[in-house]
Amino acid sequence: MFKELVKIATSFSKLERYVFIGTLIILLVAGGFWLLHIYDNLTVVAPARGGHYTEGVVGQPVSLNPLISGVGGADRDLVELLFADLDELAENIKVSDDNKTWIVTLKPKLKWSDGEPLTTADVLFTLETIQNPDTQSPTFSTWQGVVGQRISDQEIHFALKNPYVFFADNLKTLKIVPRHIFGNIPPSNLRLSNYNLEPIGSGPYKFVSYDKERNGFISRYTLGTNEYYAGQEPFIEDFGMTFFINEVDAVKSFNRREIDGLGGLSPQGLENLRIGHKVLSINMPRYYAIFINQSTHPALKEKTVRDAMATAIDRSAIIKTVFDNQAVVVDGPLPSIIDGYSPKSGGGATDLSDVVASLEKSGWELNADGVREKTIDKRKVKLDFTLQVPQVDFLIKTADMISDQLSSIGVHIKIVVLSAVEANEVIRNRNYSLIIFGNTLRGNPDAFSFWHSSERFYPGLNLAIYNDKTVDSLLENIRQDFDDEIRKEKLTRLQNIIRGDQPAVFLLSPNYLYVAVKNLGGLENNVLVLASDRFKNVEGWFLKTNRVLR
């Protein structure tokens, strides 16, 4: 047959031969596209295992131990990769009918990254070590009053004195530590253990090595996949973390392609990126406010003054100038992304002329220096305040803009910048008239720690030193009310009361900016409670892909 086709082809004229060859080429190309179309319809792009990812972090790891590490920074980032939450280890979590006992059943045959069994003995050890004051755990207050009881190697009960509707969130974020590693170490000596830098964990990745420079600076951590992880095996095989002294150096390293991702970037850092990348801009349940210590200055006791300051501050201008629009306005004690948030209703002054009129009506007149003053208890009192601000670049710029904005209504602001040590001391002693500081909620509307009168003094977080019996009652009831609708009604009332009293000037909530190489997949734009929560689904991140049958 082939010879017959050749004979026919050789009998073609020159023109016929060109037509024949052209037609054959068209048929072959069309056939190829048809086969590709079939292949495309029968398969789908899916993540494939492999690749190496290095993230840049500004800061230094100190202790990769969930018992004693803080809630932010390099430590927490690595802890999220190396240690599993109780929620990840649990097969089932149930609550008793009286809402006082939470029953957790672990998955069977759990193991630590060194192959040792992981049981409820580790869970109970973690709980009791956190509760020991000698441990000085940052989560000490979260777990007070909770009693753990082992039922078996897989089942443990948590008994509460009172029902707590948000206790599930506590369980989901509890990082379990290995009793066989830390069980024989006195809690007061936990910080001395080498395992704080060479941890045995249960997360998606395990410790491999770290590099330390001669001056003690830890420059890099290398992690590998944990074969005993209770969840999905990570697609990315090797995960590295490189540490930098400042953001400028981290951005330069990203531009040189030495690192693949960088979290917590400032808007200014974002502008300095020079290579292709993807950016996630994620709002978090945190906010900054000016907290007011009314006892330090007679003018601050006047609600007219507090309202005037709150109205005169142009938050939108600050967000545009300082944050390049990578932030949102906050109008009360709950950020808008929190379930139970209630928008602020109208009312009050809306422009500077109304603000000035309200101040003058209350007797605050401009003096020769352009600062408002009036006589209180036979003494001249000026609207002249000191605003203390932590040494954070965007907070200092925010404070400068606030100072300029308040000067337009006759309020003088002196800015004092605090180092980290000074800020802690000022907060501890409540030694401030006005201070810019941040509140971070745990992803739920429990604002007890920030606004209940029992939290007015250290180690409480009620920085406005706010005291209102109705608010106290609402905060207590919200914690124990399992009826969603009734709880939302109480949350609305709570927010309206605090807004009305104006114990703080609520400002804004910055977005969390994460930049990564373009080929990183699986990174989800979810709400983050903590910055380290970006790793909550790290096992789903991928750099490589394959086509597989649908």
Residue 200 pLDDT more than 70?
A: yes
Question: Looking at this protein, which amino acid is placed at residue 162?
Answer: N
Q: Is 8 helix (H, G, I), strand (E, B) or coil?
A: helix
22 and 151: one domain?
no
Q: Round the average pLDDT of the chain to a whole number and report it.
A: 92
174: confidence class by pLDDT, cuts 50, 70, 90: very high
User: What's the angle, vertex CA 269, arms to CA 278 and CA 275, rounded to 5?
Assistant: 45
Which of 470-474, 521-525, 530-534 shows the lowest per-residue confidence on average (mean pLDDT)? 521-525
Q: What pLDDT is attached to residue 29?
A: 67
User: What's the angle, vertex CA 335, arms to CA 330 and CA 338, rounded to 5?
Assistant: 160
Q: What pLDDT is attached to residue 528?
A: 87
CB 539 within 8 A of CB 232: yes
Nearest to 270 by CA among 291, 286, 288, 248: 248
For residue 338, the domain's CATH number is 3.10.105.10
349: confidence class by pLDDT, cuts 50, 70, 90: very low
436 and 543: one domain?
no
234 and 352: one domain?
no
Which structural domain range is residue 431 located in? 286-511
Q: Measured between alpha carbons, how far is 135 from 140 in angstroms, rounded to an integer? A: 9
295 and 425: one domain?
yes
Residue 348 pLDDT more than 50?
A: no
208 within domain boundaries = yes
Q: What pLDDT is attached to residue 72?
A: 80
Q: Measured between alpha carbons, how far is 312 from 407 in angstroms, rounded to an integer? A: 9
274 within domain boundaries = no
177 and 301: one domain?
no
Q: Measured between alpha carbons, how far is 437 from 494 in angstroms, rounded to an integer? A: 21
Q: Measured between alpha carbons, how far is 387 from 26 in angstroms, rounded to an integer? A: 77
- DSSP one-letter string for 402-420: HHHHHHTTT-EEEEEEE-H
505 within domain boundaries = yes
127 and 12: one domain?
no
Residues 34-53 have pLDDT tens digits of: 666 665 666 666 899 999 99
278 within domain boundaries = no
Residues 282-304 have pLDDT tens digits of: 999 999 999 999 999 999 999 99
276 within domain boundaries = no
pLDDT (average), residues 371-400: 96
Residues 477-513 have pLDDT tens digits of: 999 999 999 999 999 999 999 999 999 999 999 999 9
292 and 357: one domain?
yes
Task: Report the percentage of the chain scoring pLDDT > 90.
Answer: 85
Q: Measured between alpha carbons, how far is 59 from 57 in angstroms, rounded to an integer? A: 6
pLDDT (average), residues 97-122: 97
Residue 5 pLDDT more than 60?
A: no
Task: Report the percentage of the chain scoring pLDDT > 70.
Answer: 91
488 and 525: one domain?
no
Structure tokens, 467:
């005291």
CB 507 within 8 A of CB 318: yes
Residue 8 pLDDT more than 90?
A: no
Residues 439-487 have pLDDT tens digits of: 999 889 999 999 999 999 998 999 999 999 999 999 999 999 999 999 9
Give the torsion sign (CA, 460, 462, 463, 468): negative
Q: Quick one: how many helices (H) and strands (E) in the chain?
A: 17, 21
Give the Cβ contact number of residue 56 at 10 Å. 25
Residues 323-344 have pLDDT tens digits of: 999 999 999 999 999 999 999 8
401 within domain boundaries = yes
DSSP code for 355:
H
87 and 142: one domain?
yes
Q: What pLDDT is attached to residue 91?
A: 97
Structure tokens, 456:
């007015």
436 and 480: one domain?
yes
150 within domain boundaries = yes
Count the domains in the chain: 3
Residue 430 pLDDT more than 50?
A: yes
The CA R_g of the chain, rounded to the nearest whole Å, is: 30
User: What's the angle, vertex CA 469, arms to CA 466 and CA 474, rounded to 5?
Assistant: 95
Residues 391-429 have pLDDT tens digits of: 999 999 999 999 999 999 999 999 999 999 999 999 999
CB 463 within 8 A of CB 476: no
pLDDT (average), residues 230-243: 96
254 within domain boundaries = no
For residue 83, the domain's CATH number is 3.40.190.10
Q: Measured between alpha carbons, how far is 90 from 104 in angstroms, rounded to an integer? A: 7
448 and 354: one domain?
yes
414 and 536: one domain?
no
